[in-house]
Structure 1
């Protein structure tokens, strides 16, 4: 038996199989689905014809030039590195005439702090929530955070890559 997409979606929604509430379509045509209070989207729909921009992974630039190169002291703790990485991403997006509100997907690669042997997820979130889910910038990307053994730069605790969408011109 073959079902049309609208009928199948309606049946899944009616049956409670899709738990995330549907969000209203934004002015730019992007639909962000969310559930709960956690500041990420559960799904993002991009309209046909929108341009997709993939940014390479970015770590923090050096924060302390007096510290040894490629050391943790040169780049700071997870919160400091996350803020610096997001600021760097924001700058790259601005060069492309985009902003953080255009980010639809984010991958965060994290290394345990060698001093504590733990990931500093709360520190990452403190920085992340300064850019996403604020009254000034409420658009939330879908996001995954990964624990990795190491990053290319031994001083980095975090590297972030994003996908942004250039909205359709009206």
Structure 2
């Protein structure tokens, strides 16, 4: 006989006391749980108030008090937003004068012509980001639609660490180069040359991570980048 089908037994004095205590504990527990739930709900509501996007919205959280931050603190994506995720893209070998398999092979001398102090990582990053722009355009997107970015760097030959400064200079040529308060385009340097108008004016500040890795898939690559972009909501 299952427990549910057993006949009920009379509850004696001790049984009634136990039943009362059990019921009282259950009610107290439920009340306490309700209070905790209300408090938790209030905290979640407060935290989610600005962050919680509508279904077709993308909300970018930027550092407070900065007109020209390089990257976002984070991004909130509505459940109905259509996303595009690129593969990791590296630089094309556009310098045939350089030996195969060397970092110099994966640069474009025409892109940095007349500039001083452009590092090899910077030169490669300029190519990679140009490829990112082309990739986005082929998918019906623009650089301003990028919401997240991951960059992998390796140390140039003879150097102990990756060239983060060179990467960041190249990044500013394509991203985060419009003042958020005035909407004016910000001049940026290439190498040690005086700042000039960026290659692609773009106000987007993606949520970004940059890390050094031991090696990349193609010998000679110092930079590889992948991005996520959001398709604008249809009006």
User: TM-score normalized by structure 2?
Assistant: 0.62
1:69 matched residue in structure 2: 100
Q: Does 1:151 align with 2:194?
A: no
**1:46 equivalenced with 2:46 (yes/no):** no
- Could you tell me how far 1:96 is from its partner in structure 2? 0.9
Kindly tell me: are residues 151 and 6 of structure 1, through their superposed partners in 2, closer, same or farther at Cα, counting changes over 3 Å? same
d(CA) in 1 for partners of 2:125 and 2:230?
A: 22
* Residues 165 and 12 of structure 1: CA distance in aligned 2, closer, same or farther (over 3 Å): closer
Considering fraction of residues, name the structure with more strand.
1
Match of 1:90 in 2: 133
Distance in structure 1 (CA, Å) of the matches to 2:46 and 2:60: 21
Tell me the CA shift for residue 56 of structure 1.
Answer: 0.2
**Displacement of 1:38:** 3.7
- CA displacement 1:75-116 (0-9 Å, x = unmatched): 241101111000001001001110111111111000011122
Query: Quick check: 1:120 aligned with 2:163?
Result: yes
Residues 7-50 of structure 1 show CA distances to partners (whole Å, capped at 9, x for unaligned) of 2245559xxxxxxxx69x8xx83211011554100011122211
Whole-angstrom CA distance in 2 between matches of 1:73 and 1:131: 21
Structure 1 gap segments, 5+ residues each = 14-21
Relative to its length, the structure with more helix (as a share) is: 2
Structure-2 change in CA distance of 1:78 and 1:5 (3 Å) = farther
Offset at residue 130 of structure 1 (A): 1.2
Counterpart in the other structure of 1:18: none
After superposition, the Cα gap between the structure-2 partners of 1:103 and 1:12, relative to the gap in structure 1 and judged at 3 Å, is: closer
Give the TM-score normalised by structure 1: 0.84
User: Whole-Å Cα distance in 2 between the matches of residues 62 and 156 of structure 1?
Assistant: 10
1:161 match? 226
Pairwise CA distance, 1:131: 1.2
User: Mind listing any 5+ residue stretches in structure 2 that lack a counterpart?
Assistant: 1-35, 108-119, 179-200
